[in-house]
Amino acid sequence: MRVFSGIQPSGDLHIGNYLGAVKQWVNAQSSDALYCVVDLHALTLQIDPATLRTQTDDLVAMLIAAGLDPATCTLFVQSHVPYHAQLSWLLECVATYGELTRMTQFKEKAERQDGYRVGLLTYPVLMAADILLYQTEQVPVGDDQRQHLELARDVAERFNNRYGAVFTVPVGVQPPAAARVMDLQEPTRKMSKSVASPLGTIYVLDSADDIARKIKKAVTDTDGEVRFDWEHKPGLANLLELYSGFSGESPSAIAARYHRYGDLKGDLVDLVVTELTPIAERYRELRSDDVALRQLANEGSEKAEAVARQTYRRAAEAMGLQ
């Protein structure tokens, strides 16, 4: 089963990225799985060049620390493989303007800034290219990527109908729990790298004290009853989803074992700290050797490029490029 997914080096990894995406990637890793640090996507928002370079290294180290083994799967950096940008252009000539302006993330992000870049509008096409280049069957992603994935499927089908069967049509897969982790202070808003929310976001590299403080201050409600109910108790439901993401138990079964919010929060702190502490330790070791880290990423990029080249050539030829 060919698996592909990507993550932007646009800030520190938070537990939404970890549970929604990275933990699934670790579970699905095999010689047929490719995971990518999508640095081209990070250019859609303002980012200092030195920061982008550092954050790309940080993220490669973090993905390995979280459990990806570059000897098992292919771990690489998107801009090292030029076919992503090249296929993206071909697919921009298949996708429509109407499709892109309907993307919810585009509308939300464009609203937050004046003079947004064209890349903010077209980046779902680049994401389609990322996926389709590898003849991907499954894309493990968080729930926020559903709409973009639907676009990748539509573009693949349209291309295949118009020019001949070149692309595998991928399906998205979400984890059973924590597919959309919400901000701990505003549980109706997604936990996010690009929106600063110091108490609402738990980072994988947070200290045990910070994790405890953030979970203990997480917004809940005043009725005091522990039950899993997204509509009426979003703060508590978010904590139960997090608990489920870390423990594997279902949110309702967890809720049934607790009578007090404080007890649930205390146990959740222990679970999160126990899982994240070794990842942070391993990350610091890996990050202390830049040369080895870049070597690993370069090896991954070579493996990825060999696959991408074949698909790109087939797509270009099908469209009439010589």
CB of 182 to ligand AQP, least distance (A): 7
Number of Cβ atoms within 10 Å of the Cβ of 105: 15
Q: Does residue number 80 form part of the binding site for ligand AQP (CB under 6 A)?
A: no
Tokens for 253, please give them: 């079964």
Q: Does residue number 79 form part of the binding site for ligand AQP (CB under 6 A)?
A: no
Exactly one of 27, 54, 96, 194 binds ligand AQP (CB under 6 A); that residue is 194
CB of 321 to ligand AQP, least distance (A): 30
Tokens for 208, please give them: 């045990």
Q: Residue 19 in contact with residue 71, Cβ under 8 Å?
A: no
Number of Cβ atoms within 10 Å of the Cβ of 188: 9
Q: Does residue number 279 form part of the binding site for ligand AQP (CB under 6 A)?
A: no
Q: Quote the CA–CA distance of 61 and 37 in Å, as a whole number.
A: 11
User: Within positions 258 to 277, which residues make up the interface with ligand AQP, using CB under 6 A?
Assistant: none
Half-sphere exposure of 285 (CA within 13 A, CB side): 9
User: Within positions 19 to 58, which residues make up the interface with ligand AQP, using CB under 6 A?
Assistant: 20-21
Q: Quote the CA–CA distance of 314 and 316 in Å, as a whole number.
A: 6
Exactly one of 12, 92, 137, 144 binds ligand AQP (CB under 6 A); that residue is 144
Q: What are phi and psi of 51, to 5 degrees?
A: -65, -40
Q: What are phi and psi of 72, to 5 degrees?
A: -100, -55
Q: Does residue number 180 form part of the binding site for ligand AQP (CB under 6 A)?
A: yes
Q: Quote the CA–CA distance of 137 and 124 in Å, as a whole number.
A: 18
Active-site residue, from 23, 193, 214, 265: 193
Question: Is 193 known to be catalytic?
Answer: yes
Residue 40 or 91 having the CB closest to ligand AQP: 40
Q: Quote the CA–CA distance of 45 and 111 in Å, as a whole number.
A: 13
Q: Does residue number 148 form part of the binding site for ligand AQP (CB under 6 A)?
A: no
Q: Does residue number 122 form part of the binding site for ligand AQP (CB under 6 A)?
A: no
Q: Does residue number 90 form part of the binding site for ligand AQP (CB under 6 A)?
A: no
Cβ neighbors of 209 (< 8 A, separation 6 or more) are none
CB of 192 to ligand AQP, least distance (A): 3
Q: Does residue number 237 form part of the binding site for ligand AQP (CB under 6 A)?
A: no
Active-site residue, from 190, 214, 233, 265: 190
Question: Is 233 known to be catalytic?
Answer: no
Question: Is 214 known to be catalytic?
Answer: no
- Please name which of 306, 316, 311, 302 lies closest in space to residue 89, comparing C-alpha atoms: 316
Number of residues near ligand AQP (by CB under 6 A): 20
Q: Residue 50 in contact with residue 58, Cβ under 8 Å?
A: no
DSSP 183: P
Residue 144 or 221 having the CB closest to ligand AQP: 144
Q: Does residue number 145 form part of the binding site for ligand AQP (CB under 6 A)?
A: yes
Exactly one of 23, 190, 214, 233 binds ligand AQP (CB under 6 A); that residue is 190
Active site members: 109, 190, 193
Binding positions for ligand AQP, rule: CB under 6 A: 7-8, 10, 16-17, 20-21, 141-142, 144-145, 179-181, 190-195
